Amino acid sequence: AQKITQTQPGMFVQEKEAVTLDCTYDTSDQSYGLFWYKQPSSGEMIFLIYQGSYDEQNATEGRYSLNFQKARKSANLVISASQLGDSAMYFCAMREGSISNFGNEKLTFGTGTRLTIIP
């Protein structure tokens, strides 16, 4: 079974609109972390935002926010007021681990969503 599912292979959004990129995950661990990355055509993976499984508040970083719904195992990325520079691939990733052994740095990635911002 897929551990990270991103169901939107591609999205087209008008500039200045908000956009939501979907991510669902599957884990039996109680302690885990969820990451979102942006990958422009240059190839670099740019860290955007992190949500811990025990965090009660949704994470926010500037124009990025994470809509974390633990019961639904959903961690959608919301980009407000999209810009042309937001056009890129976006990856959701998860790091699993227990409280006593949270040193597992392995990230499991989804297949990504290609976001295109239209002027």
User: Tokens representing 18?
Assistant: 């908000």
Instruction: Report the distance separating Cα 51 and Cα 35, nearest Å.
Output: 7
Task: Write each residue from 10 to 49 as x if it is in contact with another protein (CB under 8 A), else as -, in one continuous string.
Answer: -----------------------x-x-x----xxxxxx--
Instruction: Report the distance separating Cα 30 and Cα 41, nearest Å.
Output: 35
User: Tokens representing 63?
Assistant: 């124009």
Which CB sits closer to another protein, 12 or 47?
47
Site for another protein, rule CB under 8 A: 33, 35, 37, 42-47, 50, 52, 91, 93, 95, 102-112
